[in-house]
Amino acid sequence: MELFDLGLAYVWEYDDDFIFLTEKILQNAGLNTFRITYSNLHEVIDAVKQRRVGFNCYLDRAWDVDETFAELGKMLNRRKTHIFNPYKNVLHAIDKASMHLEFITTGLNVPYSIIIPPHSEFEDIYISVDDLSILGRPFIIKPCNTTGGGIGVVTGAETLKEVLDERHAYTADKYLIQEKIYPANFNGKRAWFRCFWAFGRSISLWWDDQTHLYDYIPPDEKEKYNLSKLDFIVRKIRSLTGLDFFSTEIVYSTKNEFVVIDYVNDQCDMRLKSKHADGVPDEIVEQIIHNMRKEIQRIKRAQTF
């Protein structure tokens, strides 16, 4: 059997640069990689079934688009391949309603929210005027399991009618109705952060929710604004989810507290800033890949004993 250190499954065209850079860094470190796309998916499935091909580790950035990739991943998991972001962990982590309650239980600050059951299960719901008044206006409406790029999210809702109407968009999904959190101002910057957990390490960046632009956090700013708390929060989320690689959005609010806004994003957008204005700084993408490279090497060493 031909054994590869990392199988890389992807279908998004904007992942090309990330995949290319991942292969370059890993291959320079003496690790071998194998791309899996629509063009060779069924061929790879047959090769794995016949035990002609195997992988030490597998990073699947396509299973949320096509379940055939998940079938391959589950097959690999039965062969003791290390799956980065195990599927059962992801399904748990991307349920915003579950995460909301678990975050509260573990002491993380989250926006005040009302959890609404799926329309397919409860056509009629009751929300009191008092509940809506606590939310304030405008408020946010989010489907709990429909994820990625703000799909289905309404950020400026004002009325109960909007809530009732939105429930028809994804009838099988629960919804969160959340208060809108406003960031403090740190020397002209909105105190909004995109934080990554990347294969054993926390990485935090300024991230403007209005422009979607990233910026580095210099050591002096991290100390000045006590931003080491971000690492503490991300580690807590990691302990709850068991994911290897995810991002989250955290705000330091005008109420002087860190609040987790967008709980868990398991398919991180890794477009490079050198090619996309709102991409992740290239050096950070490289750092994430090097973290993955170290983890693959650790797993490979462990498998030899």
Q: Residue 193 is encoded by which pair of tokens? A: 């952060």
Query: CA angle, 247 as apex, 85 and 23 as ends, to 5°?
Result: 60
**The pLDDT value given to residue 172:** 80
Residues 150 and 127 in one domain: yes
d(CA 44, CA 64): 18
- Kind and range of the H or E element at 202? strand 202-207
Residues 172 and 243 in one domain: no
Is 207 a member of any domain?
yes
**The pLDDT value given to residue 110:** 96
**Domain membership of residue 204 as a residue range:** 183-265
Is 8 a member of any domain?
yes
pLDDT 10s digits, 93-137: 998 889 999 999 999 999 998 888 888 877 777 777 777 788 888
Please count the structural domains in the chain. Answer: 3
Torsion over CA of 8, 13, 15 and 16, rounded to 10 degrees? 80
- The pTM of the whole model exceeds 0.85: yes
Contact 112, 284 (CB under 8 A): no
CB neighbour class for 15 (10 Å; exposed up to 12, middle 13-18, buried from 19):
buried
d(CA 45, CA 280): 32
Q: How far is CA 258 from the centre of its chain?
A: 19
Task: Say which DSSP state 136 is in.
Answer: -
